[in-house]
């Protein structure tokens, strides 16, 4: 991991603490809101633990900021989206595709190859998620269901259901995710006579 990535990740902790204090919420209240334990939140804020994708997303949503703001990406007036990869401590990378907080947020995820016997760390938080696999194979554990999504397959679910994403031993995986607050859902429309993406779970 290069020096610039280290600096980016090291700066997230103090920023998380400032955002929480600005909202005047306790670690326990934030834990209930995001599904991330209070002890983990405390270690993240103190810089004793590197954040993962599963932690950054609900935290950004809870604080009402984008991932770019959470990692202090420089602002730009250019309407074109210049993908700025955000590395996480578990080797995953997320590329935010939307800039404004609120509403449905779009992300591209790149997860390194995993192991088929990886034990999922199920999490819950407020919101609704729609996932589409671009390349590779995605393992999605959703409640008691353990699903394998191939390239071109999609899933949608309420994020209050315990869930976990991971790559398999077959190699890395890239997928798109549209995440909204509770009550917001992504609607995918196909042209007449054109089949839409398959849905692995509803």
pTM above 0.75, yes or no: no
Give pLDDT, residue 83.
62
Give pLDDT, residue 53.
72
Whether residue 165 contacts residue 114, with contact meaning beta carbons closer than 8 Å, is answered with no
Give pLDDT, residue 140.
95
Transcribe 58-113 into DSSP letters: HHHHHHT--HHHHTTPPP---SS-----EE-TTS-EEEE---SSSS-EEEEEEE--
Instruction: Give mean pLDDT in consecutive 10-residue pieces for the chain, a chain of 202 residues.
Output: 63 87 90 89 89 81 77 56 70 80 82 87 86 94 94 92 91 90 51 39 38
Give pLDDT, residue 72.
65
């Amino acid at each position: 991991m290069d020096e610039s990535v280290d600096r980016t990740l090291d700066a997230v902790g103090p920023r998380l603490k400032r955002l929480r204090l600005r909202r005047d919420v306790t670690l326990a209240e934030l834990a209930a809101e995001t599904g991330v334990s209070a002890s983990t939140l405390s270690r993240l804020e103190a810089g004793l633990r590197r954040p993962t994708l599963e932690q950054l997303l609900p935290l950004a949503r809870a604080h009402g900021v984008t991932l770019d703001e959470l990692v202090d990406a420089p602002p730009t007036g250019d309407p074109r989206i210049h993908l700025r990869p955000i590395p996480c401590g578990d080797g995953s990378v997320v590329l935010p595709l939307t800039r404004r907080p609120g509403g449905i947020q779009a992300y591209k995820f790149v997860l390194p190859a995993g192991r088929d016997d990886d034990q999922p760390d199920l999490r819950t938080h407020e919101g609704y998620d729609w996932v589409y696999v671009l390349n590779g194979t995605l393992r999605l554990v959703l409640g008691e269901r353990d699903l394998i999504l191939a390239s071109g397959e999609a899933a949608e679910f309420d994020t209050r259901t315990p869930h976990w994403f991971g790559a398999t031993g077959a190699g890395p995986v890239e997928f798109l995710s549209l995440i909204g607050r509770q009550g917001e859902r992504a609607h995918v429309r196909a042209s007449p006579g054109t089949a839409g993406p398959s849905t692995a779970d509803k």
